[in-house]
Amino acid sequence: MSNNRMLTGIAIGVFALLAAVNNVQAQDTQVVLTVTDPAHEGVEVGQSKLVKGVASIPSGYHVWLLVRREDFTGVWWPQAEGPVDPKTKEWKANVTFGKAEDVGWKFELAAIVVSDEEHIRLQDYRTKAMLSGDWKPIEMPPTLGAPKILKVKKTSHK
């Protein structure tokens, strides 16, 4: 291969890499994700809670909620998608905080933005878990932007 061809190939590769980085940066700036309920850290919760928020995300992305007990580092339990209303930008989804024996523990609640591909994986996970009753934890899926994480305390199983 001639030097000119090799340099052209390298230049095209560098250009493609820079375009991809700029595209990711552009998408990141479009992500606005907030949790409005619970409104702050330390809120006491029971067995479940309707979690609410506001999001402005690119087309082809979805808001999902995951939870974990504070001592289960590295793994999460996907809960549900929080579909974003196109007009109000509000979303909501119900979250379950562990089992009866988890009363007294703190939980981390994560609101995340995922691609269509990850959304389908999370939907498949949830459907299989609901049908089988086998709710195994997973690692945090790739997200667009940083997850919004709040700590809450489970004070009852009702």
Model confidence pLDDT, tens digit, residues 66-116: 999 999 999 999 999 999 999 999 999 999 999 999 999 999 999 999 999
List the domain range (segments joined by +) for residue 12. Answer: 1-30
**152 close to 106: Cβ distance less than 8 angstroms:** yes
| Same domain flag for 130 and 96 | yes
**Beta strand 48-56 with 32-37: parallel, antiparallel or unpaired?**
antiparallel
For the chain, the domain total comes to 2
Spatial separation of the C-alpha atoms in residues 118 and 122, rounded to whole Å: 6
Range from 11-20, 89-98, 121-130, 146-155 carrying the lowest mean pLDDT: 11-20
| Same domain flag for 22 and 49 | no
What the block records as the tokens of 157 is 């199983």
Phi, psi of 130 (to 5 degrees): -65, -40
What the block records as the tokens of 147 is 């997850």
pTM: 0.80
